[in-house]
Homo-oligomer: A and B are copies of this chain.
Amino acid sequence: MSHIMIRINRELLQYITELQDSGITCETYGPGEEIIGQKKRVLSVRIVKSGIVKCYLTEDNGNDFIQEFFGEGEIFGEIEVLNGNPSFCALETITDTEVCKIPGDRFGELLQTDKKFNELILKALASKVHYTAIRHSYHQSHAIEDNLLRLKKQFPRLIDVIAKRDIANYLGVTLRSLNRTINGMRNKGI
């Protein structure tokens, strides 16, 4: 549960890694590749083995809003496979990335037959609800500066790893505002 901004789920990653299942395959991506497009059908569930993937949503007015950064063990596509909707987010790698790919029907079978897997997925979903709720609440009720301080505390290498534009889109503010805030903090010696 270390840095919350880039979500990880070691328990799930370990379980999936140890699960010898011929249906589960591995994919590799370079930086900046799109894994799933917004509004596309989702046929497989994926779990990050290594790397960072951003999960974002482009609004009708052209603004991008980043929902989450997925790190090791984080799962995506499961929401869509479960309820049969097209993807509401786009998924794009930030760094070099490896993912496990579980076909949708195999995912359904595992949920039914593997109690431990079922439990891990329930917990992963509960965790997503929990953290997004806390994050959005914090964002809505605090100034940009507070949010930045919180992120840096969680993840000191933030500015080296994540592009400014992405940080701004994650906080739901403009790049200009983010820069202004960083400047203000520098002047105050933070």
Contact = CB atoms under 8 A, between A and B. Distances in A.
Interface of A: 57, 59, 61, 63, 65, 67, 78-79, 82-83, 85, 88-89, 111-112, 115, 118, 121-123, 125-130, 132-134, 136-142, 172
A78 B130 CA distance: 11
A168 to B, nearest CB: 11
Nearest to A59: B141
A157 B61 CA distance: 27
Nearest to A55: B133
A128 B79 CA distance: 10
Contacts of A59: 137-138, 141-142
B57 A122 contact: no
A50 B114 CA distance: 35
Q: Classify the interface of chain A: helix, strand, loop or mixed.
A: helix
Given A59-B138, A122-B111, A137-B59, A88 B172 contact: no
Best-surrounded residue of A83, A89, A118, A136 (most CB of chain B within 10 A)? A136
A63 B141 contact: yes
A121 B123 CA distance: 11
A112 B115 contact: yes
Contact of A67 (B79, B85, B137, B141): B137
Contacts of A118: 111, 118
A122 B125 contact: yes
A129 B130 contact: no
A139 B65 CA distance: 10
A167 to B, nearest CB: 14
A138 B59 CA distance: 7
A150 B146 CA distance: 29
User: Closest 8 interchain pairs by CB?
Assistant: A140-B172, A63-B141, A125-B125, A65-B137, A82-B126, A136-B136, A79-B126, A59-B141
